[in-house]
Structure 1
Amino acid sequence: MDVETVMAALRKKALEDAEFRQKLLDTQKEKNPLAAFCNIAREEGYELYEMDILTYGEEFYAAIKRSTNGGGENSPKLEGQDDYYDMFMAELAGM
């Protein structure tokens, strides 16, 4: 299962279950938030690891960059745009 499919499933459950959403949000307070988040995903039956999310975030940002600037190296990096975990947490906080 790919990262986006897992994140969509976690997003759906978080939307339906406020306690689960809070559990995911609370990972931000952990010493290693990404590891805590992935542990919850694995508890839910999804094989998700830190490198999966980090790689997906970088690939997602690169795709956006290519689509808007032809992938030019002179395009500035938008802060946080390659951090998929942080973007996901911001989305959860807004639910």
Structure 2
Amino acid sequence: MIEIELERLLKDAKADPDLKIALLKTRAGNNPVEDFCAFCRSKGYDINAGELFTVGMTASDAKLRSVNGGGVNAIDGWDDAYEQFFSTLIWTN
């Protein structure tokens, strides 16, 4: 599950300053999301762009299915897992 991989990566990056710097450098390329995912896979983390972009959509879909058509509103937007990951990474030591 990608959420678990992102948590594991964040924990490892907090403990390893070189990993954190390398992850931040992936944002400077022409295709930062793909660069990030390729780097992660090269380090043994099962992270790919498709799953990264569908994390929020999956949560929204699950919410709608859980009420079996009842009176629940869809989530207007969902969190961007890629941006959330980097926001957390940047602001942590």
Give the count of matched residue pairs: 87
- From the CA coordinates, give the structure whose radius of gyration is larger: 2
Separation in 2, partners of 1:43, 1:88 = 18
Aligned residues of 1:30 and 1:36 also touching (Cα < 8 A): yes
1:85 alignment partner, one of 60, 82, 85: 82
Q: Residue 51 in 1 paired to residue 50 in 2?
A: yes
Q: List gaps (5 residues or longer) in structure 2.
A: 65-70
Q: CA deviation at 1:71?
A: 4.1
> Conserved in 1, the CA contact under 8 Å of 2:2 and 2:46?
no
Shift of 1:43: 0.9
The structural deviation recorded for 1:76 is: 4.4
Runs of 4+ residues over 6 Å off in structure 1: none
Contact 1:58–1:83 (CA<8 Å) still a contact in 2?
A: no
Alignment of 1:6-25 (within 5 A): 6-25=5-24
